Amino acid sequence: MAHNINFNESTDKHSFFSVKEKAWHGLGQVVDQYPTSKEAIIHSGLDYQVEKATLSAGISASKEQQENQTVPVPGYFATMRMDNNAVLGVVGKEYQIVQNRDAFTFFDSIVGGDGIMYETAGALGKGERIFITAKLPGYIHVGSDDLIEKYLFLTTSHDGSGSITAAFTPVRIVCANTLNAAMKNIINLVKIRHTSNATERIRTAHKVMGIASRFSEQIGEAFNDWAKKPITDPQLKRLIEISMAPSKEVLGNLKHGKVNSLSTQFINIVDDVYEYALSHPTQQLTTTMGTVFGAYNAVTGYFQNVRKFQDDESKLKSIVLGGTAQLRAQVAFNLCNELARYGATSLNLN
7-49 pLDDT, tens digit per residue, is: 888 888 888 878 877 666 677 788 888 888 888 899 889 999 9
Domain presence at residue 262: yes
- Please tell me whether residues 241 and 330 are part of one structural domain: yes
- Please tell me whether residues 209 and 302 are part of one structural domain: no
Which of 167, 196, 224 terminates a domain? The answer is 224
pLDDT at 1: 40
Q: Which pLDDT tens digit goes with each residue over 165-215?
A: 888 887 766 555 666 666 655 567 777 777 666 667 767 777 888 888 888
- Please tell me whether residues 32 and 165 are part of one structural domain: yes
Cα 57 to chain centroid distance, Å, stands at: 36
Domain presence at residue 77: yes
285 pLDDT higher than 50: yes
- Please tell me whether residues 34 and 152 are part of one structural domain: yes
Domain region containing 175: 7-47+97-224
pLDDT at 68: 59
- Please tell me whether residues 236 and 332 are part of one structural domain: yes
- Please tell me whether residues 33 and 167 are part of one structural domain: yes
Domain presence at residue 2: no
Which of 38, 58, 92 terminates a domain? The answer is 92
CA separation (Å) from 274 to 135, 206, 296?
31, 40, 11
How far apart CA 318 and CA 327 sit, in angstroms, is 8
If one compares 286 and 154, the residue with the highest pLDDT of the two is: 154
Domain presence at residue 75: yes
- Please tell me whether residues 266 and 295 are part of one structural domain: yes
- Please tell me whether residues 281 and 139 are part of one structural domain: no
Q: Are 227 and 293 in contact (CB under 8 A)?
A: yes
- Please tell me whether residues 112 and 171 are part of one structural domain: yes
- Please tell me whether residues 146 and 77 are part of one structural domain: no
- Specify the 3-state DSSP secondary structure of 75: strand
For the chain, the domain total comes to 3
Domain presence at residue 170: yes
- Which residues fall within 8 angstroms of residue 175, CB to CB, at 6 or more apart? 282, 297, 301, 304, 305
Domain presence at residue 328: yes
Which of 193, 208, 224 terminates a domain? The answer is 224
- Binned at pLDDT 50, 70 and 90, residue 125 comes out as confident
Q: Are 298 and 236 in contact (CB under 8 A)?
A: yes
- pTM, to two decimals: 0.76
Domain presence at residue 32: yes
Domain presence at residue 1: no
**Angle subtended at Cα 37 by Cα 31 and Cα 41, rounded to the nearest 5 degrees:** 70
How far apart CA 83 and CA 62 sit, in angstroms, is 30
103 pLDDT higher than 70: yes
How far apart CA 109 and CA 206 sit, in angstroms, is 8
- Please tell me whether residues 103 and 216 are part of one structural domain: yes
- Please tell me whether residues 232 and 220 are part of one structural domain: no
143 pLDDT higher than 60: yes
